[in-house]
Amino acid sequence: MRAVVQRVRHGQVTVDEKVIASIGQGLVILLGVGPQDRPETAQAMARKIAMLRIFEDEQGKMNLSLLDVRGEAIVVSQFTLYADTRKGNRPSFTDAAPPDLASPLVDIFAESLHAQGVAVQSGQFGAHMLVTIENDGPVTILMEM
């Protein structure tokens, strides 16, 4: 499982010109699922991200987690995080999990993040989404489990 975690002041997901998710301070999490991933992987990634200390404290140091700042999260499924660009100029996505495996694991990830105490919204699996990210910092963390 791979994630691009972006600290945001605002995040939004639009599908077919309709806003389906919108948050203020928090995280936009672009989540890729590999064929080897299991529910335990999704749960562990959610715990790690909920506790990730990437928000600033009173001294301006990154010491606070999403839970500490009572931030929100948007989870966006993104199979392109498994792009293989080693050969040629057209990426291959054969390393990404098939939709029947990936979709339930994205849901388990979002549910696990919510179980940690995070207000969670989601994109729409398999849809063409417009993702608005007002990256704060910028702070962008790459994670893999």
At 93-124, the pLDDT tens digits run: 999 999 999 999 999 999 999 999 999 999 99
Return the pLDDT at 81.
Answer: 97
The pLDDT assigned to 74 comes to: 98
* Dihedral sign of CA atoms 86, 90, 96, 98 in order: negative
Query: Per residue in 22-80, pLDDT tens?
Result: 999 999 999 999 999 999 999 999 999 999 999 999 999 999 999 999 999 999 999 99
Instruction: State the total domains in the chain.
Output: 1
pLDDT at position 48 is 98
Mean predicted confidence (pLDDT) in 81-98? 94
Q: Is 132 a catalytic residue?
A: no
Distance CA 3, CA 10 (A): 18
Single out the catalytic residue among 6, 14, 78, 121: 78
Catalytic residue chosen out of the listed positions 6, 79, 109, 116: 79
77 contacts 33 by C-beta, under 8 angstroms: yes
Q: What is the pLDDT of residue 125?
A: 96
Half-sphere exposure of 30 toward its Cβ, with a 13 Å CA cutoff?
A: 18
Residue-averaged pLDDT of the chain: 97
Query: What range defines the domain where residue 27 resides?
Result: 2-144
Give tens-digit pLDDT for 7-18.
999 999 999 999
Q: What is the CATH number of the domain that holds 100?
A: 3.50.80.10
Task: Reply yes or no on whether 79 is catalytic.
Answer: yes
Give the pLDDT of residue 8.
Answer: 98
Whether 80 sits among the annotated catalytic residues: the reply is: yes
Please tell me the predicted confidence (pLDDT) of residue 24: 97
What per-residue confidence (pLDDT) applies to 67? 97
Within 13 Å, how many C-alpha atoms sit on residue 84's CB side? 8
